[in-house]
Structure formats: structure tokens, C-alpha cells
Amino acid sequence: MRNSMSSGSIEQARRLAAIEALVCRDVGRKTADLIAANPGGLADAARDLARATSVGLITGFFVPRGDVAAPETDGPVGTALLAAALAACGLAVRIATDAPCAEAVRAAVAASGGGVATDEGAVEDRAGLDKLLGGWQAMKLSHVIAIERCGRSADGKPRNMRGVDVSAWTAPLDDLFLGGPWRKLAVGDGGNEIGMGRLPAGLIARTVPNGAEIACVTSCDHLTVAGVSNWGAYGLMAALTVLRPDWAATIAKFLTAERDLAVTRAVVDKAGAVDGVTALREPTVDGFGPDVHGALVDELGRIAWGQAAD
């Protein structure tokens, strides 16, 4: 019986699977069950995104811990580089965040090359959020992507991985994510981010100091469960180079270890961002330094261009 897949389709599927295997893996957070429950999520999201004409992105996760009160490095970095790449490919692109994370997002956008507008919402400003939603609806966005954005749990409160209610630093951008007919994509790495409602809440149950349930209830059309959320953004970039050869050369300019480190340094130096795991103000993400992130980005590039896929 003849194989219905062409050699080109087989090679494409092989590269997408290799990209997902690299990006969507447990890095010590006990997320293997989440990843296993979402097979093919990154590839499906990339296939959907490959048809986009205009994209809104939502990011920003604030870290209030002891003497530390700052946005984290995971999220704005990957979001800005993905946004810059999509804009360079000719798409209309915007990023939304809230006031506590706005400086970090703007620093990331500037370091990524600029040219992408950032919409900022106050934490408690329903009228402002409604106005922002109206603007996004008027743009007729085809896709909205949430990347490392804390979302509502079952009790309506956004909670960090320690079970702490972070409502005081988190605008309800779930409503922006859900508020239009656009395709809804999400990237997360722990279970409390927008989009994780696509998975059974029981998989996300955690033992946190105050016993709170952290699972986000906001769902999406396609979910990427990454080891680190920035990696999910880079995985989408790599997958798009496979699916859209006409975009490949442009995306390649943004999918580099040098860019990743430069943008990470910018959000730390210019906006005081911190590592979300260590709470230290240094150019690391989720406890990993540039040696780890840079090696991953380099490997994604090799896979995307067919130089490795194992």
C-alpha cells in the first residue's frame, strides 16, 4: 500500500517532532505528566500560527517574594523575539501586558529590534481593559498567544507556584485572551499559566505551602507545555521555519543564542527583572544560565534547517 505522505511531509513531521522533544521536556519541575497529556501540542500550534495574518501576544509574570518585587525573565524575552520575528515576516503584531511587567516587556521589545507596540493595562482598571479589548477586536486579529502569563485558578485568583494570590500585581488579561474570535494559543511551563485549562486540573495539582489549587482554568485552542516558557516561543519560531520556508531566513535572524542572551540581559539591566526560580537579578531564566539556553537555541536552529533531528 502506497504511503500517503510524501518524503517532504515525512521530513517536515520529523523536524517538528524533534523540535517538540527538545522544547517540551521536564527540566526538574515534575511536569512530565503535563507534557505527556499534550502530545503534538507545539506542532499543532505552529501549524495554526503558520496561517496567521495578525497576532496579539500576552505575557508578563510578576514575582513578589520577600524583598523582591519584580517581573520575571521568563516570558517577555521569548515573547519579544517571537513578536519581532512575526512582524519582520510582515504580520501586524502587538503585545499586551500589565503595569507591573510593562517596563520589562518594553525593554525586551527594544532589545529584540523594536517595531512592536506594547499595550499596557493597569492592574485594577476594568474600563481600560475593555478599551484594550475593543482595540484588539477592531484589529481583527487572527491569533492571540499567551506566553508565561499567570491566569485565573478555580477560585478566580491568579496564583504563583507557591500558591500565593498575586492579584495585586496581575491584571485579568484572561479576559483579553478570551475576548475575541481569534485562534487562541498558549505557552506555559507549570500549570498556572493562561491556556493550561486545556488540561485536566488534576494533573496540575501541587503541594504548595498554603494548600491552594494553582491550576489555571483558562483554556485555549492549542497549548505548548514547555520546559521553560521562553523555549516554547523559540520552539514555535523553529517550527514556523519548517512550515513556512518563505519566513525561514527572516526568523533565523531572531532565533539565535546571541539574541536570547542580549534580550535577557536587557530586561534585567534596564527593567530589574529577576529569575523566577532563584529570584535573583541576573541574566538567567528559571534557574538556567546562558550556556543552557544558548545551547538549546542553537540546537533548534540545527533541527529547523535539517542539520540534526535526533
Where are the strands (E) in 204-263, listed by range? Answer: 222-225
278 Cβ neighbours under 8 A, 6+ residues apart: 284, 287
Instruction: State CA 16 to chain mean position distance.
Output: 18
* pLDDT of 3 higher than 60: no
Q: What pLDDT, on the 0 to 100 scale, is given for residue 4? A: 56
Cα gap 199→48, rounded to integer Å: 19
* pLDDT of 202 higher than 90: no
Q: pLDDT (tens digit, 9 = 90+) per residue, 219-274?
A: 999 999 999 999 999 999 999 999 999 999 999 999 999 999 999 999 999 999 99
Q: What single letter denotes the amino acid at residue 170?
A: T
Q: pLDDT (tens digit, 9 = 90+) per residue, 281-295?
A: 999 999 999 999 999
Percent of the chain at pLDDT exceeding 70:
97
Cα gap 27→158, rounded to integer Å: 23
Would you state the cell numbers that stand for residue 298, as one nine-digit string?
Answer: 542553537
pTM as predicted = 0.96
Half-sphere exposure of 144 (CA within 13 A, CB side): 28
150 Cβ neighbours under 8 A, 6+ residues apart: 61, 62, 158, 159, 160, 166, 170, 192, 193, 194, 216
